[in-house]
Amino acid sequence: MHRNRNFLFHLYMGAFLLYMLVPLLVMGGAAFNASKLPTIYPWKGWTDEWFIAMWADNRIWIAFRNTLLVALAVAAIAVPVGTAGAILVNSIGGRVRGMLYGLMVAPILVPGVVIGISTLLFWNQFGVGSGLHLSVLGQVSYIASFVMLLVLARLQSFDQGLEEAALDLGASHGQVMRRILLPHLYPAIGAGAAISFFQSIENFNVTLFTRGGADTLTVYVFSKVRSGITPTINALAFLLIMVTLLLAIVYEVRRRRIATIEAAREAEARRAEES
């Protein structure tokens, strides 16, 4: 009976993966269809004209550049801010800690529309008009929370005795920070930077209300999808999916190789023990 149930589970998992991936296939496939509308059915023959059209579309490149700039700026601000917040909240206790923590986590749960509009209104009071700089500030306000959570989790495994020892041995405050605390936090900071970068690329709601007239990739794709739809968007989607897949495959191959090496090492150790 167990075997039967497991079979059903495997089936369900397979169905779910199909459900997740088939829409992406459909979208990517439509990039090669010679139909004027983005679809894979009816199939009107193979073409690469949508890729050429995409390549020639200047606005895509500008939007692409804007997206990268915004994402880099967001990561550059959110990482130090979130790290500082985590160190601060970790060093205090009691009610203040709870309150501060709540304040730091809350932005994750605030709808992007609200963040976008409040950022726009706030800076507008001081005569700062809308534009991508406001998008950056709006995005940082909630993306820093992710960094904070990652760094805070990492801080739990930090041995403060190391800092004590360094201070006793005459290290300066800057050295304690640079040589002891930061190296321990690097994995979390790296993950935080990556998450900031990708969250920023994904962002739509905050950007839409703060961007002024500038395009980011998400906003541009959205305006394309809303108005005159051509399969150039599918060409773009196809390329994005391919990049994602490629990264995923590289990651998986590396993981497997490391797993094999480790298994070999373990076997070696066991043999050495036996002999």
Partner 1 sequence: MQDLYRRYGKGLTWAFIGLTFFWLAVLVILPDFTLFESSFRPYLPISEVGGPKDTYSINNYLRIFGGEVAMNIFGLDVMISPRVKVFLYTIWYSGMVTFVTFLIAYPLSYYLAKVVSPKSLPTLFLLLFVPLWVSEVLRSFAWWIILAFKGPLNGVLMALGVIEKEIRWIDGYSPVIVGLVYTYVLFMLFPLYNAMQSLDSNQIEAADDLGAPWWRIHWRVILPHAKPGIASGAVMVFMLSAGSLLVPAVLGSTTSGWFTQTIQGIMLEEQDWNSGAAFAFMLLIVCTLVVSLAMWIFRVKLSDIAK
Q: Please, what's the b/e burial string for 226-256 (b: 16 or more CB within 10 A of its CB; e: otherwise)?
A: eeeebbbbbbbbbeebeeeeeeeeeeeeeee
Q: Nearer Cβ to partner 1, position 49 or 164?
A: 164
DSSP 43: -
Strand, helix or coil at 159?
A: coil
The closest of 253, 251, 237, 234 to 47, measured between CA atoms, is 234
Q: Nearer Cβ to partner 1, position 39 or 47?
A: 39
CB of 131 to partner 1, least distance (A): 15
Q: Nearer Cβ to partner 1, position 242 or 269?
A: 242
CB of 272 to partner 1, least distance (A): 25
CB of 275 to partner 1, least distance (A): 28
Strand, helix or coil at 103?
A: helix
CB of 212 to partner 1, least distance (A): 11
CA 246 from centroid of its chain's CA atoms = 17
Those residues with Cβ within 8 angstroms of residue 265's Cβ, 6 or more apart along the chain or in another chain: none
CB of 205 to partner 1, least distance (A): 6
The closest of 136, 29, 121 to 77, measured between CA atoms, is 136
CB of 82 to partner 1, least distance (A): 8
The closest of 56, 27, 93 to 231, measured between CA atoms, is 27
Q: Nearer Cβ to partner 1, position 9 or 272?
A: 9
Q: Nearer Cβ to partner 1, position 138 or 192?
A: 138
Q: Nearer Cβ to partner 1, position 17 or 69?
A: 17
Those residues with Cβ within 8 angstroms of residue 242's Cβ, 6 or more apart along the chain or in another chain: 28
- Plot region of 146 (φ>0 → left; ψ -120 to 50 → alpha; else → beta): alpha
The sign one gets for the Cα dihedral 174, 177, 182, 184 is positive
CB of 43 to partner 1, least distance (A): 10
How far, in Å, CA of 132 to CA of 191, rounded? 24
- Cis peptide bond N-terminal to 42, omega within 30: yes
Q: Nearer Cβ to partner 1, position 62 or 204?
A: 204
